[in-house]
Structure 1
Amino acid sequence: MIQVTNLSKHFGEQTLFENISFTLNRGNKIGLVGRNGSGKSTLFKILLGEEEADSGEVFIPKNYTIGTLRQHLHFTHKTVREECASALHGDEAFNVYIIEKMLFGLGFSHEDLDKDPLSFSGGYQIRLNLVKLLATNPSMLLLDEPTNYLDIVSMRWLKQFLKEFKGELILITHDRDFMDAVTTHTMGLRRKSLLLIEGNSSKYYAKLEEDDERYLKTKANLDKKRAELEDFITRQKAKASKAVMAQSKAKQLEKMGEMDDLEEESSLSFAFNYKKTPAKIILDAQNIGFGYDAKKPLFQNLSFKLEKGKCLAIIGKNGKGKSTLLNVLAGELPLQQGNIAFHPETAIAHFGQTNIQRLNLKHTIIDEIYEVDPLLGITKVRSICGGMMFSGKSAEKEISVLSGGERSRVMLGKIIATPANLLFLDEPTNHLDMYSIDALTQAIQSFEGSTILVTHSEMMLKNLADALIIFHHDKAEFFDGGYEAFLEKIGWEEESDAPSKKVAQSDYNESKKLRTKLIQERSAKLSPLKKEIEKCEAKIMQLEETIKTKNETLIQIASGNDLGELQRLSKELKSDEETLNGLYEQFESLHVKHDELFESYEMQLKNI
């Protein structure tokens, strides 16, 4: 159990949170939500002892371990398997099976296990850190956006792992579906205070709305009473007969106090600019293909049609060609095979990582929105900026000073300003918070045109996708149906090819039993050997002391005339030295036997 009491943290004049308290009980898995900058990551650092609170206390029980995913990368072993296995300790040091299972779940292949950790991309190196963290089996996990570097298959594996994790968990993620699937409670930082409820994020936000509504009603009633009292005092204080009553009402007014206005929280809010089209089929792709290596195309012979108003989602593991396919369809990359036909009145708006890099760093946000259509007018441009949470002076910031998330919102603003009936969206949720993702999902749902979407968000897929292009089984395949239908009828190959959970658990239990048996057997055989070694060592030490004493006596006798005693003592010393040599040989023989037996069991344990 972790107890946090009256915790406060300020940075200069900014207050992140004040006098917050909560208790983390055994088995609690908490989703931590809040606007960007509300203090979520700072709270994590305080729990880890990396940051000091201004006031308050954090009680963590003795021997209670907290694990967190580190972004810094430091590898000391030559292979992925060895690097991750280095996190295991004690009897678990031989449990490489579990390490390999985690690595496979996070997208590593059998061949990858013997590769150098430094040969992988930064995203995959973060995954290695995640495996090393999970392997330590801490009492509690603190995970800040653990899905950032994961594809959809790895996210599904991690989701299941965290659901089965026996310890406590506090999770920060922008993926509401992932959070709600894993957690038992939701906790939020809002307006410098904290609310913890049992249940998912939907229940949490419903509670916030209910509390705000109650607060506003109470404030309205209080403001009404204040106004009535003020009016009475103003009217009656001049009349002598009413003066005493007016003074009484004035005192009553002083005691009432005032309720502050609720602090407004900005949210992403927008609608895409639909351009009318008579088309029923927006896009028709026939036998298309592309590859950076002619001998190994990323996709080929792919055919599909996209109807007006439909959403096509492109899904699959990282590095398989999802963004490449989107860029080929959008005309960013040349088509190498087949044919793509657009309706003559198709108008495209494209959101992709390459587009974000094309933002002019010297432009202001207003300049970038104006660039789409100079005839928009400042009122419309300002409205779009406000919808992207750049109101007032903030819309006049230069692109060069914006964060990655802010630049993504500028790019979304440009897409909104573009009249279109076909949207190309490549991971549009990157850098967006949970509220903004909800707003984006609603905007796509309301859009009258068509959408082609690349995303790892299962929530968006379930809500938006009418059809899919799936990168699996080393090819790209069109599926005429939604994401849930795909899971039901086909499913991910990594999950369908894997042994059943019961079989995997059974294998694990059997291997654990065999390890336990071997460890017990090893202990039974090594224990008497250790005792013999200890007894032999004690005899050697005792005899060495005896020989030392007799040698000292012999030196004293040699200076006298007692030849008989001299001969007797010399014989004893010779006998003692022969016995000592025998003990040395016995000691060495026992040690060799012990080490050979230990090595034999080490090899057996490693092979399980």
Structure 2
Amino acid sequence: MIQVTNLSKHFGVQTLFENISFTLAHGNKIGFVGRNGSGKSTLFKILLGEEEADSGEILIPKNYTIGTLRQHILFTHKTVREECASALHGDEAFDLYKIEKMLFGLGFSQEDLDKDPMNFSGGYQIRLNLVKLLATNPSLLLLDEPTNYLDIISMRWLQTFLKEFKGEIILITHDRDFMDAVTTHTMGLRRKSLMIVEGNSSKYYAKLEEDDERYLKTKANLDKKRAELEDFVTRQKARASKAVMAQSKAKQLEKMGEMDDLEVESSLHFSFNYKKTPAKIMLEAKDVSFGYDPAHPLFQSLSFKLEKGKCLAIIGKNGKGKSTLLNVIAGELPLQQGTLSFHPETTFAHFGQTNIQRLNLKNSIIDEIYEVDPLLGITRVRAICGGMMFSGKMAEKEISILSGGERSRVMLGKIIATPANLLFLDEPTNHLDMYSIDSLCEAIKNFKGSTILVTHSEMMLRELADALIIFHHDKAEFFDGNYDAFLEKIGWEEEIDVAPKKVVSNDYNENKKLRAKLIQERSSKLSPLKKQIDQCEAKIMKLEEDIKVKNDALIACSSGNDIGELGRLSKEIKSAEETLEKLYEQFETLHVNHDTLFDTYEIQLKNI
């Protein structure tokens, strides 16, 4: 268990967080959210002892180890196998199987194990650091964007590994689905404060919204009461007969205090600039092929159609040709074989890493947006800059001093300024936080044109993709269906190869009896849980209705002078909300137990 109490951190006049406290209990896996720059990575450094807090206390048990994923590269062994095995200690010092299993899960092949670690790309070198971290089996894993350099298959492997990890985890990631699949709690830094809830990020954000709504209602009632008192004092203080009462009201005003306005946080918000087109089919590809080495093409004989309003996602492991295919379709690379037919009125807007590198470092952000269309007025350009979180003077910054994430947002701004009906988006979520990714998904959904998207985010695939091009089985193939349909009908070959084989019995009657017994056993165990779930749900609904009635009474009462009644109602509401929170936790635990038990029997039934 780690106990953090009243921790504060400032940089000059900027306050990152103040008097934050939380407890990390055994088995807790916490998703850590907050805007970019809110202080998440700084808190990690403080927990690791790499940076000092201005005040507060951190209690860490003796022999409790903390491991974190390092971004810097320092390799001292000649092969991948030896480098990763160097992280093993004690009884596991020679457990090479454990190391190899992790390496294969993160995309390394058998041949890679004897290669020099320095011969791999930066992304794969970070994966080696991840293997070395996981091999040490620390008490607590601090993971800051561990999926940044992982492809979709490696992400799925890591997700399973972290779910089964026996220690504690604090995880920062922009991938909401990945986080929610792994974590038991969600913790967030917001307005210099910290809040932690049991459950996923959706529950956390719902609680934030509820708290803000309650705060604003209370503030509105308080402001109304203050205005009434101020008006009374102003009107009556000059009248002798009302002077005493006015003085009393003035003292009441002094005691009331004031509630601050809620700090508004910047959000990336935008919509793509759709150019009208009569096309029903935006693009048709026939027998498209490409390869840097003619003997080993990245893809060949690929054919598909893209309808207006549809999103086509290109998915697969790193290095297989996803970005290359997107660049061929976008005309960034020459087509070697086959045909690409576009409607005459099709207009592109292309977001990719090569495009970001073409930003003029001497230009300001405003200049870069203007270059897209010189006819854009300053109001429109400023609006686009603001939507990309570059308001006021920030929009006049030179590209050369911007971070990688800021340059990505500039590129998105240029895409927004471009009238288009076909979007090419290559990993557009890199450097974006959860809030910005939600805005991006919403903008793509609302875009009336078509989109071709390269992504490793399963959340984006599930939300956006109407069809897929999958790089697997050493080829690229078109799949006319969404991502879940692909997983159900085909699935990733790497996962199928290691999937447990079903147990097949030749005795039909014995299997039938066994199935009947299992179904009866499952029913007898699930029925009590279902009853408890229904009872808990009924209590929640009743208590929510009671809280609503009391809140309405509190609002009505706040316009009067009955301080005692206000206090009573406030205490009752607080008590009821605490009870409701416990009921929610009980409801969630019961549901998890029910679903786990159900899934256990489902697996047994499928294996018969």
Which TM-score applies when normalising by structure 2?
0.82
Query: 2:283 is matched with which residue?
Result: 283
Query: 1:393 is matched with which residue?
Result: 393
Higher mean displacement: 81-90 or 314-323 = 81-90
Deviation, structure 1 residue 501:
9.1
Deviation, structure 1 residue 261:
0.6
* Residue 265 (structure 2) pairs with residue 229 (structure 1): no
Q: Distance in 2 between matches of 1:392 and 1:372?
A: 20
Deviation, structure 1 residue 74:
1.4
* Residue 144 (structure 2) pairs with residue 147 (structure 1): no
Query: 1:184 is matched with which residue?
Result: 184
Q: Distance in 2 between matches of 1:282 and 1:121?
A: 36
Percent identity, aligned pairs only, is 87
Amino acid at match of 2:222: L
Query: 1:119 is matched with which residue?
Result: 119
Deviation, structure 1 residue 500:
2.3
Query: 1:549 is matched with which residue?
Result: none
Query: 1:346 is matched with which residue?
Result: 346
Q: Distance in 2 between matches of 1:162 and 1:382?
A: 43
1:477-516 C-alpha deviation (Å, 9 max, x unpaired): 110001111111111111111242999xxxxxxxxxxxxx
Query: 2:522 is matched with which residue?
Result: none
Query: 1:416 is matched with which residue?
Result: 416
Q: Distance in 2 between matches of 1:21 and 1:205?
A: 19
Query: 1:214 is matched with which residue?
Result: 214
Deviation, structure 1 residue 188:
0.2
1:430-479 C-alpha deviation (Å, 9 max, x unpaired): 11011000000010011110000000100000000000000111111110
Amino acid at match of 1:323: S
Q: Distance in 2 between matches of 1:352 and 1:20?
A: 39
* 2:295 partner SS: coil
Q: Distance in 1 between matches of 2:118 and 2:347?
A: 44
Alignment of 1:452-531 (within 5 A): 452-500=452-500
* Residue 79 (structure 2) pairs with residue 76 (structure 1): no
Deviation, structure 1 residue 87:
1.1
Amino acid at match of 1:47: L
Which TM-score applies when normalising by structure 1?
0.82
Query: 1:156 is matched with which residue?
Result: 156
Query: 2:322 is matched with which residue?
Result: 322
Runs of at least 5 residues in structure 1 that lack an aligned partner in the other structure? 504-608
Amino acid at match of 1:366: I
Deviation, structure 1 residue 94:
2.1
Amino acid at match of 2:71: Q
Amino acid at match of 2:16: L
Alignment of 1:36-51 (within 5 A): 36-51=36-51
Query: 2:130 is matched with which residue?
Result: 130
* 1:38 partner SS: coil
1:188-245 C-alpha deviation (Å, 9 max, x unpaired): 0000000000010011001101000110111111111111011000000000111111
Deviation, structure 1 residue 88:
1.1
* 1:94 partner SS: coil
* Residue 440 (structure 2) pairs with residue 440 (structure 1): yes
Amino acid at match of 2:452: I
Query: 1:304 is matched with which residue?
Result: 304
Q: Distance in 2 between matches of 1:180 and 1:499?
A: 23
Query: 1:292 is matched with which residue?
Result: 292
* 1:132 partner SS: helix
Runs of at least 5 residues in structure 2 that lack an aligned partner in the other structure? 504-608
Q: Distance in 2 between matches of 1:498 and 1:78?
A: 29
Q: Distance in 1 between matches of 2:92 and 2:407?
A: 46
Higher mean displacement: 77-86 or 424-433 = 77-86
Q: Which runs of 4+ in 1 moved over 2 A?
A: 499-503
1:297-356 C-alpha deviation (Å, 9 max, x unpaired): 111100000000000000011110000000000000000000000000101111111111
* 1:17 partner SS: strand
Deviation, structure 1 residue 396:
1.3
Alignment of 1:578-589 (within 5 A): none
Cα 1:117/1:501, change in 2 over 3 Å: farther
Cα 1:437/1:115, change in 2 over 3 Å: same
Q: Distance in 2 between matches of 1:98 and 1:406?
A: 39
1:533-572 C-alpha deviation (Å, 9 max, x unpaired): xxxxxxxxxxxxxxxxxxxxxxxxxxxxxxxxxxxxxxxx
Q: Distance in 2 between matches of 1:501 and 1:430?
A: 37
Amino acid at match of 1:372: V
Query: 1:548 is matched with which residue?
Result: none
Q: Distance in 2 between matches of 1:59 and 1:172?
A: 22
Query: 1:542 is matched with which residue?
Result: none
Q: Distance in 2 between matches of 1:9 and 1:249?
A: 40
How big is the alpha-carbon RMSD for the aligned residues of Structure 1 and Structure 2? 1.1
Deviation, structure 1 residue 358:
1.1
Query: 2:252 is matched with which residue?
Result: 252
Amino acid at match of 2:218: T
Deviation, structure 1 residue 388:
0.7
Deviation, structure 1 residue 294:
1.2
Query: 1:541 is matched with which residue?
Result: none
Amino acid at match of 1:193: S
Query: 2:404 is matched with which residue?
Result: 404
Q: Distance in 1 between matches of 2:226 and 2:469?
A: 62
Q: Distance in 1 between matches of 2:501 and 2:390?
A: 49
Cα 1:387/1:191, change in 2 over 3 Å: same
Q: Distance in 1 between matches of 2:229 and 2:409?
A: 48
Alignment of 1:45-124 (within 5 A): 45-124=45-124
Deviation, structure 1 residue 366:
1.2
Q: Distance in 1 between matches of 2:64 and 2:342?
A: 61
* 2:93 partner SS: helix
